[in-house]
Structure 1
Amino acid sequence: MSSSVLDFIHQRRDYYITRWKEDIDPLAFNNAHLSEVLADELKIEMIDIILTDIYTEERGQGERLRRLSERMIYHELSLGNFIRGLHAFRRMLRNDLAAAYTEERILEFEARMDDLISKLVDESAKMRENVIHIQNHALKELSVPLIPVFDDVSVMSLIGTIDTTRAQHIMENVLQGIVDNRAQVILIDITGVPVVDTMVAHHIIKVYEAVRLVGVHCILVGIRPEIAQTIVSLGIDLRNFSTKSTLQKGVEAALEITNREIKEVPRAYTDKIKQPEVGFSEK
């Protein structure tokens, strides 16, 4: 780009920053939770990237754009509105340059601006994809955890609707949890599943059978009366499945399978009033 064009823009730097802050970007930082001070800070950061890189072609532009993209995502700023603000700034510069420079020089400037805007869009897209990936991974880990409750006994509580994608997550987590926890008995609690239709039942049955195939006892618990009625009306055969109506009964069955039993152990308090303490012991 012509050095005279760069010098022209650089000499009017403070003027452009003022224009940008005041009336070029009414939508770029449209966020009710964003303070005026922070909005001004982000505006200056963006304009500084543009003017500095256009003038000096300084290295480190990518890192500055990534940092700005992170802040935009954190403060939930619309990338589309922000880009429209940048294009408005670009038009303002073009109008100023048109009075003193040829179309060829102006097109060189616009090419540099287009490159910067494209890089910002690319960095923002990468950052948003990374955030989505991290959130999906966290959701996968947290939505269906297999929780050890006793040695050899673990519980997976299912909450909400179960679709094909979530069923796959359940399958992966329960099988990995069996290995990690060295479980002998798995309780699958469906108390929090609001509706059990044919598809949901199919997914649960597949998980149940997968657990049994790796040599682990599986008990399906939380079958409420309305769920039982739905299962019967759908013609789903669970006669070969181990089921319990509540998680408590499921735990009792799991302890029985692992050769444990629940006992009441008396405990004396300082006032000599004895109250029962529940524990369990090996048979």
Structure 2
Amino acid sequence: MKLKRAAYPYVFWMIIFILMPLFLILYFAFTSGDSQSFSDFTLSLNNFKRFFTPTYLKVLRRSVNLAFISTIISLIIGYPLAYIISKEDTNRQNIMILMLVIPMWMNFLLRTYAWLTLLGRNGFINNILVKVGLQPLDLMYNNKAILLGMVYNFLPFMVLPIYSVLTKIEKGFIEAAEDLGANKITVFKKIIFPLSLPGVITGITMVFIPAVSTFVISDLLGGGKYNLIGNVIEQQFRWTGDWHFGSALSIVLMVFILLTMAFTSKFDSDKEGGDGGLW
């Protein structure tokens, strides 16, 4: 099949901004050398051997653990919120979704910086505690602050796909179940939740992937004390200057993300809503 001329700009864009960067990352990951000249690089697996040491495996384990916990928290908060929104009339749904999306219009870095003014030692929350006669709390530079930042920034990515699927569920299924004597709990367990699983799986994927690769949240709210895999990659490119090891870490993270997506896709349904989860 001949490629249409209208597709040429898109193909050019993909080659320059997708394929070329991937090729460079692969090239740096499987080579070593301190020279700036590409011709002086030698093929090597030392970058990957360096990753599989206790230090970096611990960083990856911490990243996965925090991303997993933040995903679970986002699901616990996001599913009821999406369900409540889906039960409102259309005008209220639009308003509530707008309120959920408006913070996302602000720059990601600014949204994270805002928590510094709230959680800091002299921040808003501690000032309130001091005024009522309580001792200030250490709310910053710990795993809890990082989790809070992850949940806050990525919660909309959990709510929106679940809400989208819930609004597409055929009302006839629910009415039929109620006519047959099913109560609200049974309707939710047998009808609503199974049909909303595609949205749940999409939400889990959309939250877990950016959470496991983030570095801004852990850098600002963690104070650099709790490095995640994203922080290590950033350090290799920005400060250490070891592009070879940074590229190897990027490849490992990329493979891990692809495996995660392949795993979650097994639980996904071919249909979003409809009757795909019932029969």
**With structure 2 as the length reference, what TM-score do the two structures score?**
0.27
Which protein is bigger by CA-based radius of gyration? 1
Which structure has the highest strand share of the two?
1
**With structure 1 as the length reference, what TM-score do the two structures score?**
0.27
Which structure has the highest helix share of the two?
2
